[in-house]
Structure 1
Amino acid sequence: MTNSDPICPLCNRPIPNGTGSLHHLIPKLKGGKGGPTVLLHKICHKEVHATLTEAELARDFNTVESLRTHPRLNRFLDWVRKRPPGFHSKVPGRRRGR
């Protein structure tokens, strides 16, 4: 980890060694191809997609600020902020029931 590491806009932790994952704010399948993207930790990116459908992302959660307001993501962000920047889950995540 260096001072020049990018910062994850969701959890505000540094993203070490180019291990980030590019998130399309509007999903590509919903018209976001070529649209704005943000670099997130892989664990943060996986949680976004485990929590929200493509339609929900396109319609209601297409900004970093709106993602932070989702109750489940907000709880996850409170939890992950206490982990080191390179933390990742060894257990594969799964889509959450709605």
Structure 2
Amino acid sequence: MPKSEGGTETVPVHPICHRAIHAHVSNQQLATEYADLDVLRAREDMRRFLDWIANKPPDFYAPTRRTRVR
């Protein structure tokens, strides 16, 4: 559950990954459909992002294009 909705469990996430997650998935979806990281990683858009970012240096930065979250 997102902290904004009373959740207390947190997982450290790199800032660029955090932006990518929220560009594709709403807080409500994170709480209900993607609470399991493996399920989130299996999404096609997240899998493509993770494949792309995998060989970038730790301090890599790129603007994140927000998609329409439903």
TM-score (norm 1): 0.62
Q: CA deviation at 1:30?
A: 3.3
Q: Which has the higher contact order (CA 8 A, sep 6+)?
A: 2
CA contact (8 A) 1:51 1:96 kept: yes
Query: 1:28 and 1:84 mapped to 2: Cα distance?
Result: 29
- Structure 2 segments unaligned to the other structure (5+ residues): none
Q: Which has the higher helix share?
A: 2
Q: State the 4+ residue runs in structure 1 displaced beyond 4 angstroms.
A: none
Equivalent of 1:79 in 52, 57, 69: 52
Q: Which has the higher strand share?
A: 1
Letter in 2 for 1:80: I
Superposed, 1:54-69 pairs within 5 Å as 54-69=27-42
Letter in 1 for 2:36: T
Question: What is the alpha-carbon root mean square deviation over aligned residues?
Answer: 1.5
Q: Give 1:46's aligned residue.
A: 19
- Structure 1 segments unaligned to the other structure (5+ residues): 1-25
Q: CA deviation at 1:60?
A: 0.6
Aligned length: 69
Question: What is the SS of the residue equivalent to 1:58?
Answer: helix
TM-score (norm 2): 0.83
